[in-house]
Amino acid sequence: MSAFLTLMRRDLRLALREGGTTGTALGFFLVVVAILPLGLGPDLKLLARLAPGLLWIALLLSALLSLDRLFHNDAEDGSLETLAMGPLPLEAVAAAKALAHWLTTCLPLVVAAPLMAVLLNLPIEAFGPLVLTMAVGSPALSFLGAIGASLTLGLRRGGPLLALLVLPLYVPVLIFGVTALTTAMRDGDMLSPPFLILLALSLAAGALAPIASAAALRANFT
């Protein structure tokens, strides 16, 4: 457990000192949300109706952005192979890195989401459910994304391929995230079935995705 935490702390410190990861994701989130009304027209009623889906799509795309760096640097300088030979199982390494990705990329996006929601005229009562559904659903994005990151590790056109592989896997999170949000907005019921399924998706991804991710990393070593 201490090795797990040490690794996570190392990844967090690297992300903080290198800078850019969180800022780029936040900037991308803002840009996506800002160009949507330009394409859809400035009709505030229409934007308010579309806002839950638009915000979730913007979250998906922004979370995707930094995924290709998840294992990249460690694979380049050989520390990933050192980690693989260490006492910590590779599954736990993948989980620690996915959690660090969630803390450095997804969590700031979730915190910033109400600001973006203002741009799309989402009613202010919906801000709580928005943050809550995104906080519960976004861990699945990091863990599923870790599978894609390890599958495309070291490929020349890894970035676009990563998006092609990971976005279909994100579809259930998107569907249940938006449904949970709109249900909470309509009925005021936070613990609706879609919300519970969203929670289940995150828990299942957290438990199972590191296994697939570690298997893909091992395929890269030999």
Partner 1 sequence: MQRFANPTKFMSLADAILPWMIALAASLFAVGLYLAFFVAPADYQQGETVRIMFIHVPSAWLAMMGYSLIALSSIGSLIWRHPLADVAAKAALPIGASFTLLALVTGALWGKPMWGAYWVWDARLTSVLILFLLYIGLIALWQAIEDPSRAGRVAAILAIVGFVNVPIIKFSVDWWNTLHQGASVIRLDGPSIHPSILIPLLVMTAAFTTLYFVLVLIAMKTEILRRRVSALQSARAGGAQASAVAAE
Residue 205 to residues 4, 137, 138, 139, 200: CA-CA distances in angstroms? 18, 10, 11, 8, 8
- Residue 212 binds to partner 1 (criterion: CB under 8 A): yes
Binding mask 97-136 for partner 1 (x = CB under 8 A): ----------------------------------------
Residues that contact partner 1, how many (by CB under 8 A): 20
**C-beta of residue 91 within 8 angstroms of C-beta of residue 206:** no
Q: Which amino acid is at 213?
A: S
Least separation in angstroms between residue 155's CB and partner 1 is 5
Least separation in angstroms between residue 40's CB and partner 1 is 18
User: Distance between CA 118 and CA 121 in Å, rounded?
Assistant: 5
Least separation in angstroms between residue 176's CB and partner 1 is 12
User: Distance between CA 147 and CA 165 in Å, rounded?
Assistant: 9
User: Distance between CA 22 and CA 69 in Å, rounded?
Assistant: 12
Q: Which of residues 136-165 bind partner 1 (CB under 8 A)?
A: 147, 151-152, 155-158, 161, 164-165
Residue with tokens 């990091």, as numbered in its chain = 142
Of the pair 21, 148, the CB lying nearest partner 1 is at 148
Angle between helices 2-18 and 21-40 (to 10 degrees): 60
Binding mask 160-199 for partner 1 (x = CB under 8 A): -x--xx-xxx-x----------------------------
Q: Which residues bind partner 1 (CB under 8 A)?
A: 147, 151-152, 155-158, 161, 164-165, 167-169, 171, 212, 215-216, 219-220, 222
